[in-house]
Structure 1
């Protein structure tokens, strides 16, 4: 007859299997190496996965920014000056001096 699940879960020195071998109480494993028990470990150099992340983020961001800034900065600056000119021109044309100069006609 097989031992019950309660006997397998610990509970002292109850024999388990045909070799009268048991795993032991909770937290006190002993005896021969058991089949099917897998343990995992982590290497010491992998225990700090975010080590240097802030430092690398700053310099990686700067590297990527400096590589792309000439693609988007000149059109952004030109667009800013164009919009600024259009707003100032609109304010002038709708002012008293602009209406007097152009007299209701648009250039």
Structure 2
């Protein structure tokens, strides 16, 4: 026995021992409808910059904290070495430095 068109349309009557006939695959709940068009837009297209500021702050902090121990110690050491060299150069080219090292040639 085949279900009638009314049963295939979701008429609400019980069919056999398994309950209701709800339609074929891709057509659940009733007969195939025509002329209905629905459009949707993905969430990342609706709000393309959603969470950008939050992610920028926390992602920047995560990347900075992971890399700071690779570049900070050489930068600090370089700063102190350069500062010492500048101070030493100023002293050697001053009156006191010239008087101290007048007889030596470097």
TM-score range, shorter chain: 0.5 to 0.7
Unmatched tracts of structure 1, length 5 or more? 1-31, 34-38
TM-score of the two chains, using structure 1 as the length reference: 0.59
Q: SS in structure 2 opposite 1:103?
A: coil
Distance 1:104 1:94 in 2: 14
Distance 2:67 2:96 in 1: 44
Distance 2:39 2:87 in 1: 69
Is 1:53 aligned with 2:46? no
Is 1:103 aligned with 2:102? yes
Give the structure, 1 or 2, with the largest relative contact order (CA under 8 Å, sep 6 or more): 2
Map Cα deviations across residues 26-50 of structure 1 (whole Å, 9 max, x no partner): xxxxxx86xxxxx96313x331111
Shift of 1:105: 2.3
Q: SS in structure 2 opposite 1:91?
A: helix
Map Cα deviations across residues 7-59 of structure 1 (whole Å, 9 max, x no partner): xxxxxxxxxxxxxxxxxxxxxxxxx86xxxxx96313x331111110011000
The equivalent of 1:75 in structure 2 is: 74
Pairs aligned (count): 71
The equivalent of 2:85 in structure 1 is: 86
CA RMSD of aligned residues (A): 2.3
